[in-house]
Chain A
């Protein structure tokens, strides 16, 4: 028996130590090539100190940024299964297994309940590191349950989208999650509870064409890629180059599909303001 044998079965690293953000000591900015120490980057909320580039981060990082301290993860016992026996160059089962190990996550979405500016708030946040943030049955189910939870307790709801679109390996099941999440959001809306859609890099495909675009307020991080069809597909279709800045947050704001763009450092404060205006607590605040 080698001295390096793992003493415990399975991967024991807690999710919060498995950030999507780069590990190692140094990070080279994808946008401006600036070298920053990881520590410095982390302290700066994974934003390049030189050019303001927002490095992709995971669901738990957002929970840490937005909630006032602690939060509770919900519906963690729901995991994907290979319904179709899908296999391309790899089997879906193997892809799932690899994703579990790589990310320590249960699927490409995590739901948490915490407080933001002392207001109860439920957030479903996606992880791009889990099979490209793809939406399958689990994403739909967790969003559906989060909405039930919000209706039951009269909490406002937010989804942080970060996804390449629907998960092909679940074929029509993943397609129907577009309908499922939209039908549930309609129910939330009939219950007069606010839903905020926060789009981060990237938000494309079936995710954009369902819950990401259905917010009472839609907003995004700076310079995120947001669109229905991917830029490569569009380029192949129209057979010419795409204009600079096409399908970025700024482009969507300009075309009227976003309410505002928010810098990661201002995210919490902005949400606190918005939550304090949307009064979902049943008791009315005293009129001054």
Chain B
């Protein structure tokens, strides 16, 4: 098991538990009571820790090395699945995966960022950082979905689009922009789930949909806390402060009205019970699709237009001037 910094108290308890179990196996002493006691303690401690996570801790949790990734969810929730490869222009991007599948009897196109599960695979997957061909593959699959009237499910988990030389040559910006533009008017329903990291344009590039959800222990922001720290504080040391300032947790995002709902994770995070997490996701998709499939394509596109047009907070100075005047009068 991997323990994050703020999980250290748990690590000790787990160590104790292992020791007691060992004692129980070696000797003839009955330790079942003690084990039960410790297990309860772990549970309550976990609850305690997890109910008070700050922004930076959620960022760490979203990057937990044991956290399930896109392909795990796809395999768990699709009864059938065929992975499709390539953008048909240049190559197959390993950082975005996708294909056709069946969820709850409904044919879908499901795709998402994919990170590697070990050192070798992490490199193979480019740490979940897609190149333009990844976004173009995603769009190709969405267009396929549109032709056959299948809904699209997008799973978002990326530290950002890849900032490489070749990515620029092949139009990283154009690839992302095109996806935003096309997803805005795709005729079929699109559900987006942030399952891990939601960093900037790289996340949004497969993140425009009828509904956008975030798993409980994930984040969504215009920039990673590290990069934000390096730009605004000119040092990498203020990532915790940056994480707070960016207001990037699922709770923040729901509060701002920028996402539709938070998906509860099992106690201790998705990696503590991946099966349960996958089941939650499967049932959630089923419920959401049911409602969305009843609308006409035009209604869905119109709803998306309204949804995104409403995003943004600003002041009308004429109004401000009026209220200020009022306040002045009142204070007099």
Contacts and interface: CB of A to CB of B under 8 A. Distances in A.
Asked if A and B are interacting partners, one says: yes
Interface of A: 77-81, 83-84, 86-89, 106, 137-138, 140-141, 144, 166-168, 170-180, 182-187, 189-190, 205-206, 208-214, 227-229, 233-234, 237-238, 242-243, 246-247, 255-257
Interface of B: 161-165, 167-174, 176-178, 180-182, 184-185, 200-201, 204-205, 207-208, 220-223, 228, 231-233, 238, 241-242, 245-248, 252-253, 256, 258, 304-305, 308-309, 311-318
A178 B305 contact: no
Contact of B163 (A138, A141, A214, A233): A233
A187 B181 CA distance: 9
B131 to A, nearest CB: 11
A183 B176 contact: no
Contacts of A180: 308-309, 311-312
Given A141-B312, A206-B200, A228 B176 contact: yes
Contact of A257 (B171, B247, B248, B258): B171
A52 B209 CA distance: 45
B248 A183 contact: no
B164 A238 contact: yes
Contact of B312 (A176, A189, A208, A209): A176
B201 A168 contact: no
Nearest to A211: B177
B221 A228 contact: no
Contacts, number: 197
Nearest to A256: B171
Contacts of B163: 228-229, 233-234, 237
Contacts of A171: 221-223, 245-248
10 contacts: A84-B246, A172-B246, A173-B311, A175-B200, A183-B304, A183-B308, A213-B174, A229-B161, A234-B165, A237-B162
A81 B164 contact: no
B228 A168 contact: yes
Given A183-B304, A228-B168, A257-B174, 17 more contacts: A88-B233, A89-B232, A137-B312, A168-B246, A172-B258, A178-B177, A179-B184, A183-B308, A184-B305, A186-B182, A189-B181, A190-B185, A209-B173, A212-B177, A213-B173, A238-B164, A255-B170
A247 B163 CA distance: 12
Contacts of B233: 88-89
Contacts of B315: 78-81
A205 B176 CA distance: 11
Contacts of A80: 314-315
A213 B177 contact: yes
A140 B312 CA distance: 7
Contact of B232 (A84, A88, A176, A182): A88
A179 B180 contact: yes
Nearest to B229: A88
B168 A173 contact: no
B256 A173 contact: yes
